[in-house]
Structure 1
Amino acid sequence: MHIEHLTTQVSASDQLDVSHIQQIADMGVELLVCNRPDGEDEGQTPFSEIAAEAERLGMTPILLPFSSYQITEANRDEFIKLIETRKRIHTYCRSGARCKRLWQRANAVVGGEEEYNQAQSA
């Protein structure tokens, strides 16, 4: 698992499995967002298994799936609502790339680029 901190509130990673969820919880994550449809790849951990462990550890799991490069305005707006909660968010997909694209589209509306730049230079 490779985690990238996009801002102090939002991080992204590649596919998680149940063994990663404790590490995500230890980061203070409150909302665990999956941007990957179930069954996209053979051997992918189903969202239901990740969600059950996330709930057990006190996080709220959210399924916001879309195919790569198929981000809709509705996807962006839903992610903006999550950002506006000011809760700590971790989002994941196959490689982390679609999560970053979703965050970039939401970020264009809500801001946060300065935090992203600071995180990248740290």
Structure 2
Amino acid sequence: MDYRQITDSYSVSPQIEPGDVSAIKAAGFKSVICNRPDDEQPGQPSHDAVKAAVEAAGLTFRYIPVISGQMTMDNVEDQAKVLGEIEGPVLAYCRSGTRCTNLYAAIQQMKG
């Protein structure tokens, strides 16, 4: 599993598969956020499939889809709200990890 640590409590990764969840849990993550809309690319696992595996492993899952290149203030606010509610460390994923990184940066700018 390939991920980039942004802070001690927030990391990002490209698309994950249900089979990656054991490695995610072993890496110490407590929560997973999917920022990738379903059906963005043929063959990608649905967020429901990933959610089922994440929750079966005892981790928390949240779905905040962000359309590539079209991040909105609602997306930023939703991500910030969820980060305030769930236990970290958090792994957020999308196609490449860039949207998740940009969301986190926007949250930090919003905080001031």
Shared fold (TM-score greater than 0.5)? yes
> Is structure 2 residue 90 aligned with structure 1 residue 95?
no
Specify the SS of the correspondent of 2:16: coil
CA distance in 2, matches of 1:72, 1:16: 23
Q: CA deviation at 1:78?
A: 1.4
Q: CA deviation at 1:8?
A: 0.4
> Is structure 2 residue 14 aligned with structure 1 residue 17?
no
Alignment of 1:75-94 (within 5 A): 75-85=75-85, 87-88=87-88, 89-94=90-95
The count of residues paired between Structure 1 and Structure 2 equals 111
CA distance in 1, matches of 2:106, 2:67: 15
CA distance in 2, matches of 1:81, 1:110: 12
Confirm or deny: 8 A CA contact 2:12 2:93 kept in the other structure.
Answer: yes
CA distance in 1, matches of 2:85, 2:110: 15
- Stretches of structure 1 that go unaligned for 5 or more consecutive residues are 112-122
CA distance in 2, matches of 1:81, 1:87: 12
Q: Percent of counterpart pairs with the same letter?
A: 31
Q: Cα deviation per residue 1:55-81 (whole Å; 9 max; x = unaligned)? A: 011111111001112111111111112
TM-score under structure 2 length normalisation = 0.90
2:8 counterpart residue number: 8
When Rg is computed on C-alpha atoms for both structures, the one with the higher figure is: 1
2:41 counterpart residue number: 41
CA distance in 2, matches of 1:96, 1:14: 5
Counterparts in 2 of 1:105 and 1:43: CA distance versus 1, 3 Å: same
Q: Provide the aligned C-alpha RMSD in A.
A: 1.5
1:108 counterpart residue number: 109
2:25 aligned partner, one-letter code = A
CA distance in 2, matches of 1:27, 1:53: 16
